[in-house]
Amino acid sequence: DTAVSQTPKYLVTQMGNDKSIKCEQNLGHDTMYWYKQDSKKFLKIMFSYNNKELIINETVPNRFSPKSPDKAHLNLHINSLELGDSAVYFCASSSVGSPLHFGNGTRLTVT
Partner 1 sequence: DAKTTQPNSMESNEEEPVHLPCNHSTISGTDYIHWYLQLPSQGPEYVIHGLTSNVNNRMASLAIAEDRKSSTLILHRATLRDAAVYYCILRWGDTDKLIFGTGTRLQVFP
Q: Applying CB under 8 A, which residues contact partner 1?
A: 4, 31, 33, 35, 41-45, 48, 50, 55-56, 90, 92, 94, 96-97, 99-105
Q: With respect to partner 1, which residue has the nearer C-beta, 42 or 69?
A: 42
Residue 10 vs 15, nearer CB to partner 1: 10
- In this structure, what is the dihedral angle of CA atoms 31, 43, 86, 81, given to the nearest 10 degrees? 40
Cα–Cα distances in angstroms (integers) from residue 43 to residues 17, 23, 36, 51, 91, in the given order: 24, 18, 6, 24, 12
Question: What is the smallest separation between the CB atom of 2 and partner 1, expressed in angstroms?
Answer: 11
Nearer to partner 1, 56 or 67 (CB): 56
Nearest-approach distance from CB 102 to partner 1, in angstroms: 3
Residue 103 CB, shortest distance to partner 1, in Å, is: 5
d(CA 47, CA 25): 16
